[in-house]
Chains A and B, each alone.
Chain A
């Protein structure tokens, strides 16, 4: 088979039959269970903890409090180590915290024989606090005298401020925190305010892990997207050598970035160590998974762009104030991604200024979540594009086509030259399949005579980077071992989280070696003691970076097989080639030997002459490249104005992810991303009590992810380009599909009703209020 074919998932049968094991399925019989004691205030200090009564509860084996843990800070974000201190992750977390920074912060842990006993005992832990006022927004937190972290006394975790010259040079500077509509204090950049809420990934498997010891080795099994980085963070948190930690990563029930960070692995590890290596497990409840893992940043954005009479962009200004929550995690990087993307999508001739701030606040920590800041940015950027088009009477598609990034574009920040821009093709395709031009007119006509039901069609496009070079190292490794029957076993450090990387990486090996996918075994679990290194699943990098490692290693293997055959059969290597798991004579096409014959011979020949060998190839691939994926969504809707309800008739989604290596799985990524984007657009938001910071809707009933009845019909397309830096011309795909949905729906609502929404989600609550304000509903 090989690439560019809809090979069935290598893990499909395991998952369909229930034999695929996830972390909770692997908890050893007799393991102890940990329950966190969580703060019931959002901001303050733990003055004392009394565990006397808790220790008397049945089944309790151990209680650790914030007064018992190692007193050194560690980073939680799942990035590869950066040797450049300017890009290293912020160390701001202890395993348990005396300084309470959000409602539900980890202040103690109870370990008992059953989850119920741990829970009942955890309730009995008595905590005395010194209470401070919760600071829930950047506006409240930045420059407030109550510092959340010593390392950032004014509660501003990071800034990224810059001006881009017309020649593309970037001048960085440091601005002051501001909420003023004037961007960078300039009278010619008076922004319009957009806001997007906190959201959660809602992978169906909640976060969980367990730890036990074998000799000096601490073994931690976790549903984590970046096992090798997790290993380092655990070692760092507990204060033991990296070599004493072994991380096992089984099947993962969805991650979307929310399983990239180090969460409860250090605490179960520490508990196990204190209990002589007995297994200790923690499985977060759904309620905890919502607020005690990571969330998508809420952003306040002030945006101002302008175009000249010809519809060419002349000016771009944006300020982002990002709510980073209690701990740094990825926060600075997410905001940096977002602020820079406003200056990448469209070519702009004049002034371009970006200012961004990320604040520490008393809310759950914000970090990576499918799209890494771009869904937030895109809502403001793409909404504004439609507003500009509307003000000038331009067609929103035509207006974008005049300004979009094209081949030859030099990214002002990472200084690479774009050479596979399919944005134009995506937009044209979307325009055609969605019947845009006809519907724009027909719906205008329809709306003239329809008061309650309004029809609209809107669109939005995006560009999104694959990988994170040059900010961080981008490397990955692969090992392929031949078996004597000509089958092979593939080991990668890449992480399958549902996106299909195990399948596509297997296809790549097949493509290069000719070994059929069903004769290849890609080891599904990652084990840091045996799996080769990989930075893990993020930045839509697995097929691009890990794929590079797999391709390179498979080529090494192919060359090795040819070399061994040349040697065994005493033929010139140049005369040989491979096909159908055989070594062939290039000219005659005659079979020299099968892989099975060659491997059997190499493995088992018992003489003094043959240098027997278990044929293995292994290599590390380091990328010195990055690229953009592109795409567009056209969305056809009806608005029930009096009820504030948006009904989506159809989503037309067109993407450029370079060469598509497995069409069936690739379309599946689009479907899922569209669903998540629709959730973000129409319903999802994590709510907190504004006085106490207590979460209000951290459950799947009150937090509205789409059900099958909320999903519209979707049509998905790819416009295939060839990205020269991708192993097979491919680019990232997993994250982008979410990005354009919210602004496309917003722009369709604008088309339908004339009302430009500037706040997510566009749920009935917010829409009815907006329609009342606009006079569409009589108050």
Chain B
């Protein structure tokens, strides 16, 4: 039994927005894998829940006319992992989603929830960050689009206006998946039912001669929010991937990340993981776009 005041089941985005405006303090819930736990911990009391689990328009995955990949935030992780478009165009995202929690969690927890709860450990977020995903936030007066790089503002904090907006679409630009290779590496203490100690995503593209023409690297749990490392990225572009370059990358990412000590992991461990996962994810991403490390 949960400390709930009332529940609504919205059938459309418009209805959900109306319910949100009519119920002060109401909370949007989809898969419930975060919200229900917050209620159980009494961090949320006498909750008014608006479920958007049954809104079909939020559960679609398709290509836009410009071939941008559009992902409905109501898609559960299992649906994303099993989707042909995702597997064909952004297998890294499927990999990331497949490492969330457990099969039962992935059968209901949604990518939208993973983004909106603002968790620094969200597995899908580093992957979406290196894909330059754009988030469509819809309110009563229409939509605005926010790059996911600007979405997170602090631990558990985002630019989403939780009392009047809903995440309605995740857009992955065609330019960021075409001819790119990606890799997401999650580091946890065990191999399932795990929260990331560190997550690292890399998305890369090469010219014909093997020069890196596009490179993005992002981390989860390496700072108070998930983050990209623009200076490290700049270091890579225009060069061939060599062991020496990768050694430089290992040092460069340390300058842009700010891991902290906690009982879950020491700063020292996270610094080591940041370097090691940067290298491994980069090597794998370059292989995934048909390149190799030039020795």
CB pair A642 B197 closer than 8 Å: no
Residue of A114, A120, A642 most packed against chain B (CB within 10 A): A642
Tell me if A437 is interfacial: C-beta within 8 Å of chain B.
no
With A120-B3, A696-B263 already in contact, the answer to whether A707 and B190 are too (CB < 8 A) is yes
CB pair B193 A769 closer than 8 Å: no
The chain B residue sitting closest to A688, CB to CB, is B263
The complex places the Cα of A478 from the Cα of B195 at a distance, in Å, of: 49
Contacts of B3 in A (CB 8 A): 116, 120
CB pair A709 B276 closer than 8 Å: no
Contacts of B265 in A (CB 8 A): 764-765
For residues 736 through 773 of chain A, which have their beta carbon under 8 Å from a beta carbon of chain B? Answer: 763-765, 768-769, 772
The chain B residue sitting closest to A706, CB to CB, is B190
With A643-B273, A765-B269, A769-B268 already in contact, the answer to whether A710 and B263 are too (CB < 8 A) is no
Tell me how far the C-beta of A14 lies from the nearest C-beta in chain B, rounded to whole angstroms. 24
Contacts of A123 in B (CB 8 A): 42
Contacts of A777 in B (CB 8 A): 272
CB pair B191 A707 closer than 8 Å: yes
Tell me if B1 is interfacial: C-beta within 8 Å of chain A.
yes
Tell me if A395 is interfacial: C-beta within 8 Å of chain B.
no
CB pair A687 B192 closer than 8 Å: no
Tell me if A677 is interfacial: C-beta within 8 Å of chain B.
no
Q: 0/1 per residue, A103-140, Cβ < 8 Å to B? A: 00000000000111000100100000000000000000
Tell me if A644 is interfacial: C-beta within 8 Å of chain B.
yes
The complex places the Cα of A696 from the Cα of B273 at a distance, in Å, of: 23
One of A42-50, A697-705, A721-729 at the interface: A697-705
The complex places the Cα of A700 from the Cα of B37 at a distance, in Å, of: 13
Contacts of A643 in B (CB 8 A): 187, 272-273, 276
Q: A-side binding surface: helix, strand, loop or mixed? A: loop
The complex places the Cα of A764 from the Cα of B190 at a distance, in Å, of: 10
Residue of B187, B190, B192 most packed against chain A (CB within 10 A): B190
CB pair B276 A701 closer than 8 Å: no
Q: 0/1 per residue, B1-41, Cβ < 8 Å to A? A: 11100000000000000000000000000000000000000
CB pair B191 A683 closer than 8 Å: no
The complex places the Cα of A701 from the Cα of B192 at a distance, in Å, of: 10
CB pair A768 B192 closer than 8 Å: no
Tell me if A609 is interfacial: C-beta within 8 Å of chain B.
no
With A644-B269, A697-B263, A768-B268 already in contact, the answer to whether A116 and B190 are too (CB < 8 A) is no
Tell me if A708 is interfacial: C-beta within 8 Å of chain B.
yes
Tell me if B189 is interfacial: C-beta within 8 Å of chain A.
yes
With A764-B197, A768-B268, A768-B272 already in contact, the answer to whether A687 and B190 are too (CB < 8 A) is no
Residue of A115, A768, A772 most packed against chain B (CB within 10 A): A768
Contact-residue size bin, chain B (C-beta under 8 Å from the other chain): 20 to 34
The chain A residue sitting closest to B268, CB to CB, is A769
CB pair A772 B268 closer than 8 Å: yes
Tell me how far the C-beta of B125 lies from the nearest C-beta in chain A, rounded to whole angstroms. 18
Contacts of A769 in B (CB 8 A): 266, 268-269
Contacts of A700 in B (CB 8 A): 193
Contacts of B195 in A (CB 8 A): 701-702
Tell me how far the C-beta of B187 lies from the nearest C-beta in chain A, rounded to whole angstroms. 7
Q: 0/1 per residue, B141-175, Cβ < 8 Å to A? A: 00000000000000000000000000000000000
Q: 0/1 per residue, A684-721, Cβ < 8 Å to B? A: 00010000000011001110101111100000000000
How many pairs of A and B residues are in contact by the CB < 8 Å rule?
Answer: 61
Contacts of A768 in B (CB 8 A): 268-269, 272
Tell me how far the C-beta of A344 lies from the nearest C-beta in chain B, rounded to whole angstroms. 34
Q: 0/1 per residue, B101-130, Cβ < 8 Å to A? A: 010000000000000000000000000000
The complex places the Cα of A709 from the Cα of B190 at a distance, in Å, of: 8
Contacts of B193 in A (CB 8 A): 700-701, 707
Tell me if B294 is interfacial: C-beta within 8 Å of chain A.
no
Q: 0/1 per residue, B251-295, Cβ < 8 Å to A? A: 000000000000111101100110010000000000000000000
CB pair B192 A642 closer than 8 Å: no
Tell me how far the C-beta of B180 lies from the nearest C-beta in chain A, rounded to whole angstroms. 26
CB pair B273 A704 closer than 8 Å: no
Tell me how far the C-beta of A342 lies from the nearest C-beta in chain B, rounded to whole angstroms. 31
The complex places the Cα of A128 from the Cα of B110 at a distance, in Å, of: 44
CB pair B263 A687 closer than 8 Å: yes
With A768-B269, A769-B266 already in contact, the answer to whether A642 and B276 are too (CB < 8 A) is yes
The chain A residue sitting closest to B2, CB to CB, is A116
Contacts of A704 in B (CB 8 A): 189-190
CB pair A763 B192 closer than 8 Å: no
The chain A residue sitting closest to B271, CB to CB, is A779
The complex places the Cα of A765 from the Cα of B268 at a distance, in Å, of: 9
CB pair A114 B1 closer than 8 Å: yes
The complex places the Cα of A643 from the Cα of B186 at a distance, in Å, of: 12
CB pair A116 B191 closer than 8 Å: no
CB pair B189 A683 closer than 8 Å: yes
Residue of B1, B3, B195, B276 most packed against chain A (CB within 10 A): B276
The complex places the Cα of A710 from the Cα of B190 at a distance, in Å, of: 6
Contacts of B191 in A (CB 8 A): 707, 709-710
Tell me how far the C-beta of B4 lies from the nearest C-beta in chain A, rounded to whole angstroms. 10
The chain B residue sitting closest to A644, CB to CB, is B269
CB pair A683 B187 closer than 8 Å: no
Contacts of A115 in B (CB 8 A): 1
CB pair B189 A707 closer than 8 Å: no
Residue of A687, A702, A764 most packed against chain B (CB within 10 A): A764
Tell me how far the C-beta of A543 lies from the nearest C-beta in chain B, rounded to whole angstroms. 33
Contact pick for B190, options A644, A683, A696, A697, CB 8 Å: A683
Contacts of A642 in B (CB 8 A): 272, 276
The complex places the Cα of A351 from the Cα of B140 at a distance, in Å, of: 83
CB pair A765 B1 closer than 8 Å: no
Contacts of B190 in A (CB 8 A): 683, 704, 706-707, 709-710
The chain B residue sitting closest to A767, CB to CB, is B269
CB pair B1 A710 closer than 8 Å: no
The chain B residue sitting closest to A765, CB to CB, is B269
The complex places the Cα of A764 from the Cα of B191 at a distance, in Å, of: 13
Contacts of A707 in B (CB 8 A): 102, 190-193
Contacts of A763 in B (CB 8 A): 189
Tell me how far the C-beta of B152 lies from the nearest C-beta in chain A, rounded to whole angstroms. 22
Tell me how far the C-beta of A284 lies from the nearest C-beta in chain B, rounded to whole angstroms. 14
Contacts of A764 in B (CB 8 A): 187, 189, 197, 265, 269
Tell me how far the C-beta of A768 lies from the nearest C-beta in chain B, rounded to whole angstroms. 5
Tell me how far the C-beta of B98 lies from the nearest C-beta in chain A, rounded to whole angstroms. 12
Contact pick for A702, options B187, B264, B272, CB 8 Å: B264
The complex places the Cα of A120 from the Cα of B1 at a distance, in Å, of: 12
The chain A residue sitting closest to B262, CB to CB, is A696
Contacts of B194 in A (CB 8 A): 701
The chain B residue sitting closest to A687, CB to CB, is B263
CB pair B1 A116 closer than 8 Å: yes
Contacts of B263 in A (CB 8 A): 687, 696-697
The complex places the Cα of A772 from the Cα of B275 at a distance, in Å, of: 14
Tell me how far the C-beta of A353 lies from the nearest C-beta in chain B, rounded to whole angstroms. 37
Tell me how far the C-beta of A706 lies from the nearest C-beta in chain B, rounded to whole angstroms. 7
Residue of A114, A706, A765, A777 most packed against chain B (CB within 10 A): A765
Tell me how far the C-beta of A705 lies from the nearest C-beta in chain B, rounded to whole angstroms. 8
The complex places the Cα of A764 from the Cα of B273 at a distance, in Å, of: 10
Chosen A-B contacts, 27 in total, with CB atoms closer than 8 Å, are A114-B1, A116-B3, A642-B276, A643-B187, A643-B272, A644-B272, A683-B189, A683-B190, A687-B263, A696-B263, A704-B189, A704-B190, A707-B102, A707-B191, A708-B192, A709-B191, A709-B192, A763-B189, A764-B197, A764-B269, A765-B189, A765-B265, A765-B266, A769-B266, A772-B268, A772-B272, A777-B272
Where the two chains meet, the residues of A that have a C-beta atom closer than 8 Å to any C-beta of B are 114-116, 120, 123, 642-644, 683, 687, 696-697, 700-702, 704, 706-710, 763-765, 768-769, 772, 777, 779
New A-B pairs, 14, CB < 8 Å, besides A116-B1, A120-B3? A643-B187, A643-B272, A687-B263, A700-B193, A701-B194, A701-B195, A707-B191, A707-B192, A709-B190, A764-B265, A765-B265, A769-B268, A772-B272, A777-B272
What are the nearest 10 A-B pairs in CB distance?
Answer: A709-B191, A116-B1, A707-B192, A709-B192, A642-B276, A710-B190, A696-B263, A768-B269, A704-B189, A704-B190
